[in-house]
Structure 1
Amino acid sequence: MKKYFIYACLLLVAGCFVSCNNDEDIDTKNSIFGSTEEGVTGFDEWLLSNYIYPYNVQVKYRLDDTETEVTYDLVPADYDRSVALMKIVKHVWMEAYDEIWGIDMTRTYVPKLIQLIGNVAYTESGMILGQAEGGLKVTLFRVNEINVGSISAAQLNEFYFKTMHHEFTHILNQKKAYDPAYDRISESDYVGSSWYQVRLNDALAKGCISPYAMDRATEDFAEMMSIYVTNTAAAWESRLATAGATGRPILEKKFEIVYNYMLDSWGVDLDKLREIVQRRQNEISKLDLSTL
């Protein structure tokens, strides 16, 4: 009896499959699965020529849920603002490194995916301006806040370039380690994930160049590098002066290690790199940020 019951079930299931495969019953006009691909835009072609071919870097400006954190409430990056931002990134960031050490080195070490997001992401520690994953991917948020008609270098540094130089420093550190003596300078002052509760002046007085630098030594090192190259000499000196008699000597000791690391390990003079970055920032107003 059990055997016949199984056979009967198999016949019933087979009948269901036959019914389901009846083309006459399929509503082909209202499939839940998309059947068309997004067309190639002029921006896609520009990215091919300016990022993929020369640097082997992919740029995603369309919102891709496979590349984003599902807990964030994110919106797509605006097309025109994405065009403007990637033109600026190429001129101010990518080509600055090309100029200091050659395009082959840039191509080798830059992250291979840049993702653009329209708005900001929030966590318990505050807003996220940028993210990097394993040296392979950088995500830039707040693209839709860019005023293409009135570009602010200070805003670009805060939203994007400080983050990009910071994360790039991590990549370089992963390839070649810096002097471990750096980690011991402020070892007792790091506060981990509570860094966002620290005010800038308090961080400077402790010998950390920013509140985020008080997270841990590796972040401290990357902050020193990124803030130095994205700020003018006057702005850097202002931070040192604010650090006072206690914080300034610590910052100067740290910077000496950072400077020597970049020069000895990578052949990069940070003073020269800062000069290049500052010059290229000043050239943004002359760039055509819309024509592809």
Structure 2
Amino acid sequence: MKKLNILLTAGMMLTALSCKKSENLDRKIVGLGGDKWKQDVLDSWLADTFTKPFNIEVKYRWDGSEQSDISKTLVPPRAEKVQPTMEIVKAGWIDVYTAEAGMDFIKQFAPRQYLLVGSLQYNAGGTVTLGEAEGGNKVTLFNINNFVKTDRNIIKPVLKTIHHEFTHILNQTVSYAKEFERITPSGYTADWNNTTLASANAAGFITQYSQAAPGEDYAEMTSVMLTDGKAAYDAKVNSIVLPKIDSIPDPANPPFIIQREMPNATAQAAIRKKEQSVITYFKQAFSIDFARLRNRTNYALAENAPTNLATLFGNARQFTSLSVEPDKADGVSASFQTTWATAKAGVAAISSTSRVLNSFVLFFYPKAGELVLRVNYTSGTTATLAHFVYKVAYDANRNMTLTYVRRDANGTTLAPGIIALTNYLTTGSFGVSWRYDADFLEYGQLTKTSDANSFFSGSLGVTKY
């Protein structure tokens, strides 16, 4: 009680002292009117790029009242990270939708505000939040302070988050078909964060988070398809396999055998069915060609953060094969067309048996340091394969050189006729690069380092040798 009396007494003394001083009660109280910031170059750029044309506010200066969960510890974004981040938002989201659906589409459906936060948002259970949408009006992007515009591993998750949240906004406007929820109904779980990617894939989900709820599954399917691009997305789905191993003879390296993982046909079919649901939704609800939207998104990523295709080939990497159809002419130089025509004529002239050269596939590193050329041809009316094995070497610039090692029996039969092609592959070195067609669809391309006008390209995949 004594302590209480002392505190009360002190309080009364302060009150008395304060009452003796005359105060101007009409004076404005600092802070209650909100912070005032002088507009700078960054603010002008944001206004000209987002606010004026699309009515989108980009808020990056700290305002605690904007945070929906005050229990989280967050930090403001650094100003120098804001424009690079929003340049990717524009290039990989606004520009691609504008190109395919028009400016009015973004004006109508875009959230009215982007809120940028410097740090990740950490959640219970060990998960983190990269972005969130609130009622279609506001999107919050986290982890801005770690943004590096030229790093694909950083900008791709950011762009994926944007497309994920925008899908929610579109779904709130036009609902997706309810049949989607019945494709893998038993796989949804609140415990998704304790699931491995392999387990999620085997259950028919493209990511672990897809298992959180049907709406999240839909947004994940859409955002993964858009930011992976066709080749990488197809490779991802086609790589979903069963634990079962199938062994077959290795025609290019007898008497050894090849051990192959069997495709998980059920899981792949479920994801492909979801994929088709997304494609149909965008076409029917908004008259958007999803394939072109996907290609443009992937191209925007490639323009801002290019990757070295040579580093993406091989087992346990993104791609294992390059399939080439030279007769289609698209993506094949005139000089290579001449090489191919010579090889076709040579194969046809080998003997009285009618042989027609059709296409070829390059398999990257079924054995360490080796590339296999599989030539597809018909002998009479029978589809036939010939295999040639090459040692692969790369220089400091990732240019590739091939050295012949061996071939199988069909390769020996074909060798005299196909020498124009095999000599082309073993003469000089090749630059390995991406190629994009008029619809922004990506391919892999090998170009002679000695002649930029001599090249061939093909479809990237995970075709198993």
TM class by smaller structure:
0.7 to 0.9
Counterpart CA distance in 1 for 2:20 and 2:103 is: 57
2:253 maps to which residue?
Answer: none
Question: Offset of 1:19 from its aligned partner?
Answer: 4.5
Larger strand percent: 2
Give the deviation of 1:59 after TM superposition. 0.5
For 1:124-135, list aligned pairs within 5 A.
124-125=124-125, 126-135=127-136
Call closer, same or farther: CA 1:20–1:182 in 2, change over 3 Å: farther
Higher helix proportion, which one? 1
- What is residue 199 of structure 1 aligned with on the other side? 196
Equivalent residue in structure 1 for 2:276, among 244, 256, 274: 256
Alpha-carbon displacement from aligned partner over 1:164-210 (angstroms, at most 9, x marks no partner): 11111111111112211111111111112x11111111111111111
Amino acid at match of 1:64: D
Q: Deviations over 1:199-224 (max 9, x none)?
A: 11111111111100001111111111
Q: Please tell me whether Structure 1 or Structure 2 has the larger radius of gyration of its CA atoms.
A: 2
Report the counterpart of residue 141 of structure 1 in structure 2: 142
Note the 1:131-210 alignment, pairs <5 A: 131-147=132-148, 151-158=150-157, 160-192=158-190, 194-210=191-207
- Counterpart in the other structure of 2:237: 240
**TM-score in terms of structure 2 length:** 0.54
Q: Match for 1:163: what amino acid?
A: T
Q: Please report the TM-score for the alignment, with normalisation by the length of structure 1.
A: 0.84
Match of 2:98 in 1: 98
What is the deviation of 1:246? 2.4
Note the C-alpha offset of 1:123: 0.6
Instruction: Kindly provide the amino acid, as one letter, of the partner of residue 140 in structure 2.
Output: T
Evaluate the alpha carbon distance shift between residue 76 and residue 233 of structure 1 in structure 2; reply closer, same or farther with a 3 A threshold: same
213, 218, 221: which one pairs with 2:210?
A: 213
User: Residues of 2 paired with 1:91 and 1:140: CA distance?
Assistant: 16
- Report what 1:290 is aligned to: none
How big is the alpha-carbon RMSD for the aligned residues of Structure 1 and Structure 2? 2.3
Aligned equivalents of 1:183 and 1:275: distance in 2? Answer: 26
Whole-angstrom CA distance in 2 between matches of 1:152 and 1:227: 18
Whether the aligned pair in 1 keeps the contact of 2:204 and 2:268 (CA below 8 Å) is: yes
Length, aligned pairs only: 263
Question: For residues 20 and 31 of structure 2, what CA distance do their matches in structure 1 show?
Answer: 17
Query: What does residue 51 of structure 1 align with?
Result: 50
Q: Any stretches of 5+ residues in structure 1 without a counterpart?
A: 1-15, 287-292
What is the distance in 1 between the residues matched to 2:305 and 2:239? 31
Which amino acid in 1 is paired with 2:50?
Y
**Which is bigger in relative contact order (C-alpha 8 A, separation at least 6)?**
1
Q: Deviations over 1:131-180 (max 9, x none)?
A: 111111111111111235xx11232121x111111111111111112211
Unaligned 5+ runs, structure 2: 1-15, 241-263, 307-465
3-state SS of the aligned residue for 1:132? strand
- What's the CA shift for 1:285? 5.7
SS in 2 for 1:174: helix
Paired letter, 1:182: F
- Describe the superposition over 1:93-131 as per-residue Cα deviations: whole angstroms up to 9, x where unpaired: 111110110001111101111011111110113111111
1:242-287 superposed Cα distances (whole Å, 9 cap, x missing partner): 332221011111111111111111111111001111122222269x
Q: Is the 8 A contact 2:50 2:57 kept in 1?
A: yes
- Per-residue CA deviations over 1:32-84 (Å, capped at 9, x if unaligned) read 63776221111111111111111100001111101112111111101111111
CA contact (8 A) 1:81 1:143 kept: yes
* Other structure's SS at 1:214 match: helix
The answer (yes or no) to whether the contact 1:201–1:242 under 8 Å persists in 2 is no
